Structure 1
Amino acid sequence: MLSGNDIRQKFIEFFKEKEHKHYESASLIPDDPTLLLTVAGMVPFKPFFLGQKEAPTPRVTTHQKCIRTNDLENVGRTARHHTFFEMLGNFSFGDYFKEESIAWSWEFVTDVLGLDKDKMWISVFTTDDEAERIWNEKCGVPMERIVRLGEEDNWWSAGPVGSCGPCSEIHVDLGPEYGGDENSKLGDPGTDDRFIEIWNLVFTEWNRMEDGSLEPLPKKNIDTGAGLERVAAMVQKKANNFETDLLFPILEEAGRLTDTKYRASEKSDFSLKVITDHIRAITFLINDGVLPSNEGRGYVLRRIIRRAVRHGRLLGTKENFLNVLVDKVVEIMGGAYPEIRTNKEHIQKMVRIEEEKFSHTLDQGMNIVNEEIEKAIEAGEKKLSGEVTFKLYDTYGFPYELTEEICEEKGVEVTHAEFLEKMEEQKERARSAREVVKEKGQDTFIEEFFDKHGKTQFTGYTEHSTKAKILHVKDNNEGNYTIIFDKTPFYAESGGQAADTGKIVGEDIFGTVLDVQKQKDIYMHTVKMAEGGHKLVAGMELELSINKYRRAEIKRNHTATHLLHKALKEVLGDHVQQAGSLVSQDRLRFDFTHYEGVNREQLKEIEKIVNEEVFKNTAVDVAELTMEEAKEKGATMLFGDKYGDKVRVVDVPGFSMELCGGTHVERTGEIGLFNILTETGIAAGVRRIEATTGFTSYKVVNQMEEGIIELSKVLKADASHGQLITKATKVMEELKGAQKEIEALKAKLAGFEANSLFENVEDVNGVKVLMKAFKGKEAGSLRDIVDKAKDKLQSCVVILGTDNEKAVFAVGVTKDLIGKVKAGDLVREIATIAGGKGGGRPDFAQAGGKDGSKVEEALAHGMGLLKEAL
């Protein structure tokens, strides 16, 4: 019997024999601003299907990792719902069409996989006579097992207008025990679990116009997708995907780690399946560079990690187990996706951090949910308020979806509308970020411009100035223009590197380039015109020159990030991965995955390693290679980055080699001096280093020297002979001694003051009362006086206040009198007179007020209240 890995390999080999080029699976982070995640096998090839780009080869085959979370609540409840799944696909871009596609799919499922032809059913679009004929005449499928279905089931379209076409699907009949009877056919009600779709063939042949009419496309395309998990279930004769060899070993390991047997109960099986599915998604999302967060892809990851942890708790385990389960995923899938083997330690550490973080709050959240549910039931209600669900999310980090799930299990409704209302600010922030990206991706002007002119020719790798022709100019008012040229030496902001600045010059024309951005390789220059702006027209030729000094500084910082990345791996470990960067003129910022703060000794070692490479003055090699050549050379590829067939490799021989489109120094010695400024944490498992190079480092070191010289003058010590530290240490010790003496003297002074105040003790209905207003007295001194007075008088009430611009009050009551008057209540009333508030214990309390001038009035008010109480 074929394993899941066998099926995947045989699929690729089969289509390679049919002259298809095998493309490795693309990242789960799609190169498509309209999509959050890669949801189907065709996503990486969408630009080819839509005619936005020319396909590099006419025939392609892939096994593509995919993520879908639109049906999350059904994962684990059904036999075939998954968040992570693999899509086997073969694609034709204007090459072969229906006959080959249908014939090859039939050949593969029957001859290669050996599935029973008599159990196969085919669906075709209602009007697709051609597909029906091919299935019947070329493949031998009986007409009674070919079913025509409508647009909902058997039609694909890119959108309301644009490319579209009919689909045809291959289904396997599991038999009457899964629904219907001997006479049932595909599409009959109640047979969804019986007829299992394993392969979808899309025939993209039409262009839908604005009026709804269809026109033939100049090139017809084929897009097919076969779910590997479903195909494996059919080949291995399993009615449930979770029982295939792709998933069952993970499920068994989850059972071992949680001490749960499969098929012990429907409830525990559900939890085991959720964990099994989710750990695959978690492993591959982190592998592709997604980090847990509260927005976008990071939220998807955080949500499924927390859902999996919660189901572990339902199975009775409080141990962190998800990170251990990663091993089993790597064992099963590491052959097809070797990068998860390489990154296993990183993946496990990220999972463990998030797992531990959530475990700390999970129990508390679960208890609160259950308590609130019990309260609702006791009150005769069947709802949990949005206020509670939001508090759980906002205060305890407890996902709304888990609250909803728990309530569903208990038969209690949740008021989702209320929760959403309270969440609107957070939701709107994430939504707005996605919409901005989406709008950029759907910029019709850029699409039309690209179709007409193609991409901007970037000449900045080899030259600092060039003559270029204006292709488009837009007046943004007040002398500010957006200009697109046919070519440019200006680097557009990308990959963390800041854009170049500079100037454009022509006859009676002068402008300063302030910024450069790009979309779809079209460079848009923001220019402030000093003169000649009104003359700017398409077709005009101008001289474009970058600021060479700024470029040189940026190059130093960019190459330094590559050296820093490698040094971090050497000192901290191979789990370190770049998580973001900023390369500007005056500094560099480098974000990286690590799980604790980097100590001073480690930072010194990292700094030393980078500077050693700088001082070697190694020549930096930059070459354009194919992706295969770059992989063979061992070039580092950054998580989540997108690369084409041709890539730019920046190599510091013997030390660092990375794929990078940025600008770099020719020799490492140009970096000058690398100096780490700060190291901080910015998120769970993510640290940040800020550093300088070149002349900026000189200025930083110079400032440090000036500071040391000034400090030496103040301390009257010679820094050059190491006396500064000795003298500073001695001064600090003397200061500590002096502070102790001052505190002792203050205590004595408070005692003297208290003794002198005893002459002013007033008798109020047999109770000794000491009241006094001060000017500029510290709050601590007031407390000392209260304590002294209580010790001396034994039974008394002490009311003190001081004007320190703002008011400060202290009230003390000996324990024998707190039945009559409480310090906390009295000081609260006193403070209101000075525009403040406060409180405390019955025997001692403090308060503050905004208006120090009201202290005496406030104390008088307090005395009046005290007399009433006594």
Structure 2
Amino acid sequence: MRTAEVKRRFLDHFSAAGHTVVPSAPLPADDPTLLFVNAGMVPFKPYLLGQVSPPYPRAASVQKCVRTLDIEEVGKTTRHGTFFQMNGNFSFGDYFKEEAIRLAWELSTEGYGLDPERIWATVYHEDDEAYTIWRDVIGLPEERIVRRGKKDNFWSMGVPGPCGPCSELYYDRGPAYGPEGGPEVDEDRYLEFWNLVFMQYERGEGTDKEDYPILGELPARNIDTGMGLERVAALLQGVDNIYEIDEIKPILDAAATLTGARYGANKADDVRLRVVADHVRTALMMISDGVTPANEGRGYVLRRILRRAIRAVRLLGHDGPVLPELLPVARDRMAPSYPEVAADFERISAYAYGEEQAFDATLRQGNAVLDRELSRAGTALPGATAFQLHDTYGFPIDLTVEIAAERGLEVDVDGFRRLMDEQRQRAKQDARAKKRGHADTGLYRDVLDRSGPTEWLAYQSLESDSAVVAILRDGLPAESAGEGEIVGIVLDRTPFYAESGGQDSDAGTLTGPSFTGEVIDVQRPVKGLIVHQVRVTGGSVGVGSAVHAAVDPEWRVGARQAHSGTHVVHAALREVLGPAALQSGSYNRPGYLRLDFSWRGGLSAAARSEVEEAANLAIRRDLPVEVRYMSLPEARSQGALALFGETYDDEVRVVEIGGAWSRELCGGTHVDHSAQIGSIALTGESSVGAGQRRVEAVTGLEAFRYLARERDLVSRLAEQLNTPRAELPDRIGALVERMKQAERQAQELRERLLKAESVAVADAARDLGPALLATARTDLDPRVLAELVRDRLAGRAAVVAVSSPGGFVVALNQEAQKAGLSAGVLVRTALDGKGGGSPALAQGKAPADVDTALATIAELVSRAG
């Protein structure tokens, strides 16, 4: 049974049982505590925690998940992967244990055809109710119902809140997989495939799973189940592990063919092939959901996953392109369940292939640095050097170890790991500090529960008469605020636009009978609640005060121009470049916009000009701007574009400019006709990551001011160069070429002078016994001169000390180091503890007394040995 069919039967089964089928949420989690959705229940947390009333009593989903906590262990076991799919059914105060167990049993035995004689169940050792249901209602023999303790069969979120016992289903794969005796004896033979959580209690504070108290029953009992789709597919396809199912094994086989490795031949190669298969599929799904390679956050996780896959293929012996060979295989296997990966493959592959090209450049750069460091190393490469290669150049430690071994050298891996651990600890501390910096959403939810949602008037009006329902100071509620304070103010109704969808928040004022305040920011910390950051400029304001809220009309005009301008630029990019130029992010404020989009190379000047012209032609045509509300499926069927990674409600707002010319899901404020944008001037185009570009532009009055400044600049250049405007490019190009030629000549002269001076300095070297000492004062590059002299004195222990206005440098060859000398020690001693470096080369600031510094080095050299 194909994995896509396993998924379909699960959803059909629960749909027939009255469950609302909920589409998978995107992988980027809509949760400040998570980077990615890591469990099927994550999208339903607000319902399960009682924070939001569920729109349905029972639901079912197949949720895409990513877990990266133990990414280094991927491939070493055959049961765990980075990307996986979790089948789940949920009840919010509706049915409970008996129906949950019955539905699971029916699907397992009838829907999937699993042998009922090979299914075992575990229950919490105090859960007599679940035990009785399995025995008396389902008819499972007592010998296949196992009572287990809190560690195995009791669920909580790890913090005070909902908790409850669970019941897990295991399938006996037979004696070939291990000994008899049930899950407590061998969980390889008895494979867990479904966990039914009975959420019925509230837990208190506790330090671990064994000692927290149970405070009592929850007011509403919930069901949360999780079935690993890949595990069930492995059982139904008769394969040994998840890496051999139909969605993963073809990727592994393609990697084996590409590298010449044979799966099953040796353990190390098997692990690498599994890493490749897992990571290529994971990357496909992450990019499909809007994640793009970056140096932090979700983008860093994606970058790491892609690079681990490429690295694994390199270690298997293949040096050619990797992702162009493997990513299409992953696409073809995942498309039956997720058609969007095929429809959007041009964008997905652009990011992935661009990242591989960037990583290849990293490897080349890292190899060059590694070659230099290995040539300087003694018998072992220091851990600090390996860490620098990893941290600065992204060079993998296992490649460092492998290349060093080929040279007969070891790597201080323990030192490397120590530095990595220190970095991780710093990152954890930073993350904790950042987390402490976030306001407690519980405070906002209390305000929302007490006062109700904010009536939002941003689409209808720029002013409203409102009442203050809450004041927040430093994350705590307050009764009033006085002049000079900056506080959060919640109103019962507001015309202010809260920052969202890439649009900056409105500016304006709040005024009352004895109060004036400047609105400096507006946010929506929880759904339904709008909080105004207000600087109190006069008087005081208290909870219950009547205020007049007024948006700055000029600000809103500029904001509308910029946001509509963002849509126009997006449509113009797609018109000029094609549909692959799809927006991945944006930001706009009055007069300014930036838009990130998928594209593999920089735009030529001609392409930029064409995009700018297409945008301004749309403005000139005065296209109507219309807003319509519809269901999400209807919007998608009409071709409305959505921002990847965003989560949308069932009803969405669609903004159209010129009908189908620009049709996007958007919650921002817009002009009524495109001509109201005024004009658009592109001010920049740059890279913001592999396969991702950014355009920046100004709109309206800011566009006019920008073009006026450009005109004035051209006029000044033409006047200074005494050249007609039309001839400026050629004239400036000629001047630049002359400057480059002059720089090349100057560099050649410097090199000749350095070479000549190095000969003279080397010839004047003094023999101090343990080593030759060559000294010099120069106006040229002191480091280059010191290295040239050192090379000329090869064969004898030699120390070179060079002083210049730019610094003080000491260089030693290997013979001098073997004599017990160190460049770092010499520099620190000569410069009174300042400066430093390696035993071969060290430097510091130029000393005030050069003679004394050189004399100190001479004395140290003469006493060596």
Whether these two folds match at TM > 0.5 is yes
Task: Assess, with a 3 A threshold, how the Cα gap between structure 1 residues 311 and 828 changes in structure 2: closer, same or farther.
Answer: same
Distance 2:303 2:150 in 1: 36
Matches within 5 A, 1:371-410: 386-399=383-396
Instruction: Verify: 1:614 aligned to 2:619, yes or no.
Output: yes
Task: Assess, with a 3 A threshold, how the Cα gap between structure 1 residues 267 and 826 changes in structure 2: closer, same or farther.
Answer: closer
For residue 534 of structure 2, what is the aligned residue in structure 1?
527
Deviation digits for residues 742-790 of structure 1, max 9, x if unmatched?
99xxx9xxxxxxxxxxxxxxxxxxxxxxxxxxxxxxx899979x99xxx
Distance 1:692 1:371 in 2: 47
Matches within 5 A, 1:365-444: 386-399=383-396, 414-415=414-415, 418-420=418-420, 423=423, 428=426, 432=430, 436=434, 440=438, 442-444=440-442
Instruction: Verify: 1:306 aligned to 2:307, yes or no.
Output: yes
Task: Assess, with a 3 A threshold, how the Cα gap between structure 1 residues 309 and 366 changes in structure 2: closer, same or farther.
Answer: farther
Deviation of the 1:274 alpha carbon? 1.5
Deviation digits for residues 809-866 of structure 1, max 9, x if unmatched?
x8956979974579xx9996334999999658569x9985379xx9xx999x99xxxx
Residue type of the alignment partner of 1:33: P
Deviation of the 1:55 alpha carbon? 1.0
Matches within 5 A, 1:307-706: 307-362=308-363, 386-399=383-396, 414-415=414-415, 418-420=418-420, 423=423, 428=426, 432=430, 436=434, 440=438, 442-473=440-471, 474=473, 475=481, 478-521=484-527, 522-533=529-540, 536-652=541-657, 653-706=659-712
Residue type of the alignment partner of 1:697: A
Describe the SS at the equivalent of 1:414. Answer: helix
| Maintained 8 Å contact 1:307/1:402 | no
Instruction: Verify: 1:289 aligned to 2:267, yes or no.
Output: no
| Maintained 8 Å contact 1:836/1:848 | no
Deviation digits for residues 302-341 of structure 1, max 9, x if unmatched?
2221221122122211112223312112212112112111
Task: Assess, with a 3 A threshold, how the Cα gap between structure 1 residues 177 and 782 changes in structure 2: closer, same or farther.
Answer: closer
Distance 2:732 2:303 in 1: 51
Instruction: Verify: 1:152 aligned to 2:148, yes or no.
Output: no
Among 204, 218, 221, which residue is 2:199 paired with? Answer: 204
Describe the SS at the equivalent of 1:589. Answer: strand
Task: Assess, with a 3 A threshold, how the Cα gap between structure 1 residues 65 and 435 changes in structure 2: closer, same or farther.
Answer: farther
Distance 1:267 1:566 in 2: 49
| Maintained 8 Å contact 2:510/2:547 | yes
For residue 867 of structure 1, what is the aligned residue in structure 2?
none
Task: Assess, with a 3 A threshold, how the Cα gap between structure 1 residues 551 and 19 changes in structure 2: closer, same or farther.
Answer: same
Deviation of the 1:213 alpha carbon? 3.1
Deviation of the 1:73 alpha carbon? 3.4
With normalisation by structure 1, the TM-score equals 0.81
For residue 760 of structure 1, what is the aligned residue in structure 2?
none
Residue type of the alignment partner of 2:470: H
Task: Assess, with a 3 A threshold, how the Cα gap between structure 1 residues 323 and 839 changes in structure 2: closer, same or farther.
Answer: same
Task: Assess, with a 3 A threshold, how the Cα gap between structure 1 residues 657 and 319 changes in structure 2: closer, same or farther.
Answer: same
Describe the SS at the equivalent of 2:620. Answer: helix
Residue type of the alignment partner of 1:523: I
Deviation of the 1:622 alpha carbon? 1.2
Computing the radius of gyration from Cα coordinates, the structure with the larger value is 1
Describe the SS at the equivalent of 1:681. Answer: strand
Describe the SS at the equivalent of 1:510. Answer: strand
Instruction: Verify: 1:849 aligned to 2:846, yes or no.
Output: no
Task: Assess, with a 3 A threshold, how the Cα gap between structure 1 residues 705 and 389 changes in structure 2: closer, same or farther.
Answer: closer
Distance 2:581 2:732 in 1: 42
Instruction: Verify: 1:829 aligned to 2:759, yes or no.
Output: no
Residue type of the alignment partner of 1:457: E
Task: Assess, with a 3 A threshold, how the Cα gap between structure 1 residues 464 and 434 changes in structure 2: closer, same or farther.
Answer: farther
Deviation of the 1:124 alpha carbon? 0.6
Q: Which moved more, 1:245-254 or 1:457-466?
A: 245-254
Distance 1:96 1:18 in 2: 11
| Maintained 8 Å contact 2:777/2:804 | no
Distance 2:176 2:709 in 1: 82
* Aligned residue pairs, count: 778
Deviation of the 1:596 alpha carbon? 1.4
Residue type of the alignment partner of 2:140: V
Residue type of the alignment partner of 2:165: P
Distance 2:699 2:606 in 1: 20
| Maintained 8 Å contact 1:34/1:438 | no
Deviation of the 1:664 alpha carbon? 1.0
Q: Which moved more, 1:543-552 or 1:576-585?
A: 576-585
| Maintained 8 Å contact 1:385/1:415 | yes
Deviation digits for residues 81-118 of structure 1, max 9, x if unmatched?
11111111111111111111100110001011111111
Deviation digits for residues 254-297 of structure 1, max 9, x if unmatched?
22222333333333222222211111111111111222233222
Distance 1:293 1:731 in 2: 37
| Maintained 8 Å contact 1:66/1:86 | yes
Deviation of the 1:253 alpha carbon? 1.9
Matches within 5 A, 1:67-146: 67-146=66-145
Task: Assess, with a 3 A threshold, how the Cα gap between structure 1 residues 708 and 8 changes in structure 2: closer, same or farther.
Answer: same
Deviation of the 1:68 alpha carbon? 1.1
| Maintained 8 Å contact 1:620/1:667 | yes
Q: Specify every segment of 5 or more residues in structure 2 that has no aligned partner in the other structure, as ranges.
A: 206-211, 474-480, 767-771, 793-799, 808-845, 855-865
Distance 1:407 1:841 in 2: 27
Matches within 5 A, 1:151-170: 151-170=150-169
Deviation digits for residues 109-138 of structure 1, max 9, x if unmatched?
101111111111000111111111111112
Describe the SS at the equivalent of 1:654. Answer: helix
Q: Which moved more, 1:35-44 or 1:695-704?
A: 695-704
| Maintained 8 Å contact 1:34/1:441 | no
Residue type of the alignment partner of 2:189: R
For residue 792 of structure 1, what is the aligned residue in structure 2?
none
| Maintained 8 Å contact 2:248/2:281 | no
| Maintained 8 Å contact 1:461/1:663 | yes
Distance 1:391 1:689 in 2: 33
Distance 1:249 1:828 in 2: 66
Deviation of the 1:682 alpha carbon? 2.8
| Maintained 8 Å contact 1:154/1:167 | yes
Task: Assess, with a 3 A threshold, how the Cα gap between structure 1 residues 697 and 173 changes in structure 2: closer, same or farther.
Answer: same
For residue 767 of structure 1, what is the aligned residue in structure 2?
none
For residue 750 of structure 1, what is the aligned residue in structure 2?
none
Task: Assess, with a 3 A threshold, how the Cα gap between structure 1 residues 287 and 195 changes in structure 2: closer, same or farther.
Answer: same
With normalisation by structure 2, the TM-score equals 0.82
Describe the SS at the equivalent of 1:829. Answer: strand
Distance 1:734 1:52 in 2: 67
Deviation digits for residues 686-727 of structure 1, max 9, x if unmatched?
22211111111111222233334445555667xxxxx43247
Deviation of the 1:448 alpha carbon? 1.9
C-alpha RMSD of the superposition: 4.0
Deviation digits for residues 127-162 of structure 1, max 9, x if unmatched?
111111111112111111000111111111123311
Task: Assess, with a 3 A threshold, how the Cα gap between structure 1 residues 454 and 780 changes in structure 2: closer, same or farther.
Answer: same
Describe the SS at the equivalent of 1:679. Answer: strand
